[in-house]
Structure 1
Amino acid sequence: MCEYTRKRVRVYGSTRKEALAKLTEKIATSNHGVPTPSAQGSVATFLTYWLETVAIHRLRENTHTRYTACTRLYLIPSLGRRKLAKLTAKDVRTWLDQLRTTCQCCARGLDAARDPNAPEAAGRPRCCAIGKCCGNRLSPLTLTYVHSVLKSALEHAVREEEIPRNVARNVRMGTPRPRRFEPLTTQEARAFLAATHGHRLHALLELALHTGLRKGELLGLRWEDLDLASGTASIRRTLQRTNSSGLTALPTKTQSSERRIALPTPCLRSLEQHRDQQLQERGAAGTGWKDSGYVFTRPDGSAIEGATLTRHFNTLLRRAALRRIRFHDLQHSAATLLLEQGVELVVIKELLGHAHIGVTATVYAHVRLRLQRDAINLLGNALRHPAEPAPRPDGDDEPPLCAASVR
């Protein structure tokens, strides 16, 4: 037995003919199975409902916090008053264009909330308060992120048949340039490892440079995750600070991030020495020892904060007289060095825990182009006639890739 539900729909027009045309269009749309919009509230109302009822159960806590901040700062102030059912692709495109060209200091009133006599305000530009805008605009990456938040929210509205289509998907954003990173060269990597010798976190930093593990994955390693006899490590969690639970262990970001990797021989020796050192620290701490179970801990056994690890990392960079980079650049350094040694892209993808090999190929496209150039030059040398003189390398070309392994 079929059940039918009846829904009253109102249409308006300046003439009877216009109203009849709109009604005919809605009836035809309904006959094709396209849901009739039922949302009567504003965009702000739906975004609040989506964040508090739906997204909070499906997103990681830190991701939900970022989504909430994007909604509060960029979505609701500009699009919040519009009716959800009447939101168009033109509205979204106009909003993004305005967001792209608007100074955030002016839009959010940061100058009004800043005390000009405060010590921390010294040297900062007084945007628009001195009649000159500082031009603090959103980066293309941030614009793409904000656009993706709106797309996710409207996609749920489509699934709940609040709106017939996701108008944010009809607005195309230019592909932002990936964030540039400066990986360590082979010589710089050697200098960095030399500077870490004697440091209590030497095993962690050596493991980061050899395997490309992320900061949270390194800090979340537990001793039961390591099999030093077979030389493997299981990546099952990441250690992060959240607003509700503080420093806590969370599952890996994706299913691909949960993986098993091989440990190089130098890291195995360092981990064994680190285990002996931790046992000595445990004996020295006595009853004050906090048995967290993590491989890398503070001297009292408690977990290490990510910010604390970053401070140690920056100190060691200065000791090695190296340029300042992010801790995450150690992962890029490991992948770049592996590519330069001829390791296949699929192996690096599995080592880094990327969900798709396209992510690995995109991030390290510049390295692949250099390798392609070297491969083409090798082929050219092989096909060169013996009587022809060998081509001289250009002075402006980059030096040849170093084939020495990082030890």
Structure 2
Amino acid sequence: MEQNTILQEQIRILTESSKQKDDIISELTTIISSQSVQKTAEENTFENIQTDTQMTVKHLADEWYTNYAEKNHRETTRNSERLIANRINHDLGENSLQTISTITIQSYVNKLSEKGGNLRTGNPLSRKTIKNYMTYLTNIFSYGVKYGYIKDNPCSDVDIPKINGNGETMRPKEIKIYTIDEAKTLLSTLKHVQFKYQIFFTLAMLTGLRRGEILGLEWNDFDFDKCNVRIKRTSNYTPIEGIYTDVTKTEKSQRFIKIPKELSKLLKLYQNSQQFDFRNRKGKGLEIVKTDRLFTQANGKPMHPNTPYKWLERMCKKNGLPFYGVHTFRHLNASLQINAGIDAVTVSATLGHSTPTTTLNIYSHCFEENKTKSVDIVNTALGGFI
């Protein structure tokens, strides 16, 4: 009797276990089936997007610009993007996204590196410019992937050619910097020119500020007692916006920097001179715009960003000096700091770079030269043991 009871209990347990097993299998089958249906639906939805819209590269670029670039990029960046978009829309704009592949983009990039890539000069585009084109294309196609217009970004495996159509290795453009003697000659020459240009280029050389940062300076940014200046705005120009005020290039670009006492004295003299000119103009009944900016037009309106460049070009030509553009003063300042043994972190903070890595990348040649000097310094400190 007892044995029958035990046997019946074992049969019951086995039966329940079998039933649970069947239930589990049934549930797993249902889940897998559901996932398969969902995946198929998603694929069908994706295919429907492609089939129904037949979106072109231009349509995607316009949507990206409206929904992303206008809300996240500075006007100077958007102006560059508009120029690139004009070229790309002409070359690829009418192509359906369905026809764009990695080989399509690779062929296009190769074409930019050939003769005629630069529509103005007929030469190949520079490697830097081609990188800008690639950045733009990568951005719009990444947007397309994110919102389901395409499955993959066709730019992912594209390589920028290392040799252009002229058979030349595409290296970064060599940075031209004034020598110490040239810089001294230039500073000496500036003592005999219009006061505001003397101040502008002396500031550029001694502080390493960007052109837009100098043009954005206002008198209340200076603390002449502490000999420092706060950088917190820029003045820029685009054909659409005209001359306008903007934030600095990056968050790290907002900074305080020290200025020499001699420069502080010169700036105060310039401030008095500027105020005298404004009063004189107002006394003649001429238009004057109230402003706190250091660098303005005669009527007080902000100076056009191209004005210092064109003035310097004319001045250098007149005095037989080499002309390397306005940005070269920033490079000169950086190289002088590095050659003086200032570390990359400090140089980066002074220049307003986003990270010290940026400084190291741009001025790697200067730091390499300093490595050699550091070895000699150690050897000298040890009494020239070697």
For Structure 1 versus Structure 2, the TM-score category normalised by the shorter chain is 0.7 to 0.9
Q: Root-mean-square deviation (CA), in Å?
A: 2.9
Sort the Cα spacing of 1:79 and 1:27 in 2 relative to 1 into closer, same or farther, 3 A. farther
Query: 2:316 aligned with 1:317, yes or no?
Result: yes
Separation in 2 of the partners of 1:319 and 1:269?
29
Sort the Cα spacing of 1:261 and 1:384 in 2 relative to 1 into closer, same or farther, 3 A. closer
Separation in 2 of the partners of 1:71 and 1:230?
47
Q: How does 1:143-182 map to 2 (within 5 A)?
A: 143-173=130-160, 177-182=171-176
Separation in 1 of the partners of 2:383 and 2:260?
40
User: In the alignment, is the contact (CA less than 8 A) between 1:195 and 1:319 conserved in 2?
Assistant: no
Task: Select the structure of larger CA radius of gyration.
Answer: 2
Sort the Cα spacing of 1:311 and 1:44 in 2 relative to 1 into closer, same or farther, 3 A. closer
Query: 2:319 aligned with 1:339, yes or no?
Result: no
Query: 2:238 aligned with 1:242, yes or no?
Result: yes
Separation in 1 of the partners of 2:128 and 2:289?
41
User: In the alignment, is the contact (CA less than 8 A) between 1:183 and 1:329 conserved in 2?
Assistant: yes
Separation in 2 of the partners of 1:179 and 1:51?
30
Measured after TM superposition, the shift of residue 102 of structure 1 is 4.8
Alignment-derived partner of residue 404 in structure 1: none
User: In the alignment, is the contact (CA less than 8 A) between 2:79 and 2:238 conserved in 1?
Assistant: no
Q: How does 1:198-209 map to 2 (within 5 A)?
A: 198=192, 199-201=194-196, 202-209=198-205
Measured after TM superposition, the shift of residue 245 of structure 1 is 3.1
Sort the Cα spacing of 1:355 and 1:29 in 2 relative to 1 into closer, same or farther, 3 A. farther
How many pairs are equivalent?
335
Alignment-derived partner of residue 11 in structure 1: none
User: In the alignment, is the contact (CA less than 8 A) between 1:281 and 1:300 conserved in 2?
Assistant: no
* 1:248 partner SS: strand
Measured after TM superposition, the shift of residue 281 of structure 1 is 1.0
Equivalent position amino acid for 2:354 in 1:
A
Query: 2:177 aligned with 1:183, yes or no?
Result: yes
How far does the alpha carbon of each residue in 1:318-338 deviate from its partner, in whole angstroms, 9 at most, with x for none?
Answer: 465421111110100111111
Moved more, 169-178 or 139-148: 169-178
Sort the Cα spacing of 1:213 and 1:306 in 2 relative to 1 into closer, same or farther, 3 A. same
Alignment-derived partner of residue 194 in structure 1: 188
How far does the alpha carbon of each residue in 1:170-207 deviate from its partner, in whole angstroms, 9 at most, with x for none?
Answer: 22336863321221222222111111114312222111
Alignment-derived partner of residue 84 in structure 1: 97
Q: Which runs of 5+ in 1 are unaligned?
A: 1-25, 111-133, 389-407
User: In the alignment, is the contact (CA less than 8 A) between 1:158 and 1:165 conserved in 2?
Assistant: yes
Sort the Cα spacing of 1:330 and 1:72 in 2 relative to 1 into closer, same or farther, 3 A. same
Moved more, 59-68 or 218-227: 59-68
Bigger proportion of residues as helix: 2
Measured after TM superposition, the shift of residue 135 of structure 1 is 5.0
Sort the Cα spacing of 1:29 and 1:231 in 2 relative to 1 into closer, same or farther, 3 A. farther
Measured after TM superposition, the shift of residue 51 of structure 1 is 2.6
Alignment-derived partner of residue 230 in structure 1: 226
Sort the Cα spacing of 1:298 and 1:155 in 2 relative to 1 into closer, same or farther, 3 A. same
TM-score, with normalisation over the residues of structure 2?
0.78
* 1:252 partner SS: coil
Measured after TM superposition, the shift of residue 385 of structure 1 is 7.1
